[in-house]
Structure 1
Amino acid sequence: MTASPYLVPAASVVWEQEIKKSRFIAFLAHTPDAEAAKAFIERLRDEYPGAGHHCSAFIAGAPNDSQALGFSDDGEPSGTAGKPMLAVLQGSGIGEVTAVVVRYFGGIKLGTGGLVRAYGSSVNGALAELTTVEKVIEGRLALSADYSDVALLDNLLSQSGARWAQVDYGAVVSGVLQVDIRLLDNLIRQIKDRTQGRVIARPLTD
């Protein structure tokens, strides 16, 4: 059972450029799911009602999750805004991110190639200023132990960075642990070896 951590935005970014009198204002934000992405897009539509276009692209999950993608040209010629914006986001290797480019038309048409470059470069400009943090993918582990093994178990959990998501102190100590999924298999093996199999630990899958 393996999964790689990935980068997500640490804070929102606003970046602006002017091309042939048109203003392109690029916004980037951390949006952990599609609902958050759509809410961010709608908020900017409300905040900038006078703009001609509110083009967008999002990755609502891990960077390589093809099921979590979305984009919109919002009235620009098909393929000139949302798709190039999404291509830039995908090239960044960042997940859980939404880009919105608000355009105020300046009276000079840019042509399809000019629009593709304008929207792509707007997202690139914002990405250059974006700070990121690593999102660790966690796995869950169901565990049951006698009280005599709790001290040894606590030591193992501390070393692995595991933490209780829920715990019940009844006849035995039982509950669910969360741990970096890359460490999950090794933690199960250590628990089994160090307690001679007395502690029951098994991975949970949603």
Structure 2
Amino acid sequence: MTVPSRPLPATIAAPVEHELVIRKSRFLTLVAPVRSADEADGVIAAARKRHWDARHHCSAQVTGLLGDRARSSDDGEPSGTAGVPMLEVLRRRELTDVVAVVTRWFGGIKLGAGGLVRAYSSAVSEALDLASPVDRRVLQQVRVTVSHADAGRFDNLLRDWTGRSGAVLGEPSYAASAEFVVWAPGDAVPGLQAEIAVLSAGAVAAVGTGVERVVDVPRGAGE
């Protein structure tokens, strides 16, 4: 794959719901990670079906590895007072592959255009404050092959190392030998190679394959 050279937008780990009441109107926000615009549309449709009694189901979505696809809907609210402000929150948070749906039950008191903008923006922002962000990083593949007898020791080392290095440990494979695959930041690979060399007294090597890919890493990993 062609790996982007610029920093990538983040996403979120799991769906989050948050409720906000403003001047008797109830705003129920769902923010959810998605893999495509079609999946985002499905989340919106499901919210509309689940909360069929609500007056509005406003939405915003950003998708694509670089966050280059975006859509929003005011769903009956005055133009520009809901979908676009929601989308601006997603953009300010530098997120992609995420959809936000704000379902509103009207409480009988009109909020005005400015009040609606603030309400929909706050609804999405507060929901995202509760979400777990996931960073996307370009990582390099490193393979470590050991005997089955040594697999436990190296598994422990790799789990510890990836946890403090912003790296990700893939599923090991067990055939004639045990093989571990690590996806690591390029500047961290020499450190991994040094630790493997120490643990094995130079008998085992951590081999960089030259393969790169974009990997989702929980924010804070390696810090």
Q: Is this a same-fold pair by TM over 0.5?
A: yes
Q: 1:163 aligns with which of 169, 175, 184?
A: 169
CA distance change for structure 1 residues 111 and 182 in 2, over 3 Å: closer, same or farther? farther
Q: TM-score, normalised by structure 1?
A: 0.66
Q: Which position in structure 2 is the counterpart of 1:143?
A: 143
SS at match of 1:71: strand
Q: Give, in angstroms, the shift of residue 79 of structure 1.
A: 2.0
SS at match of 2:45: helix
CA distance change for structure 1 residues 55 and 11 in 2, over 3 Å: closer, same or farther? closer
Q: 1:202 aligns with which of 187, 209, 217?
A: 209
Q: Which position in structure 2 is the counterpart of 1:14?
A: 18
Q: Give, in angstroms, the shift of residue 178 of structure 1.
A: 3.5
CA deviations 1:128-164 (Å, max 9, x no partner) are xx4343535474625364649x678557524423534
Letter in 1 for 2:51: Y
Q: Which position in structure 2 is the counterpart of 1:131?
A: 130
Letter in 1 for 2:27: I
Q: Structure 2: how far apart are the matches of 1:98 and 1:9?
A: 12
Structure 2 gap segments, 5+ residues each: 163-167, 214-223
117-126 or 81-90, which moves further after superposition? 117-126
Q: 2:30 aligns with which of 28, 34, 44?
A: 28
Q: Structure 1: how far apart are the matches of 2:78 and 2:102?
A: 15
Letter in 1 for 2:121: G
CA distance change for structure 1 residues 169 and 37 in 2, over 3 Å: closer, same or farther? same
CA deviations 1:85-127 (Å, max 9, x no partner) are 1212333456654322222345665543343233223334444
Q: Structure 2: how far apart are the matches of 1:153 and 1:78?
A: 58
Query: Where do 1:72-87 residues align within 5 Å?
Result: 72-87=73-88
Is 1:190 aligned to residue 197 of structure 2?
Answer: no
Q: 2:44 aligns with which of 41, 44, 62?
A: 41
Q: Structure 2: how far apart are the matches of 1:25 and 1:6?
A: 25
1:191 and 1:201 in contact (8 A); partners too? no
CA distance change for structure 1 residues 193 and 25 in 2, over 3 Å: closer, same or farther? same
SS at match of 2:76: coil
- Aligned identity (percent) is 29
What is the RMSD computed on CA atoms of the aligned residues? 4.2
Aligned length: 198
Q: TM-score, normalised by structure 2?
A: 0.62
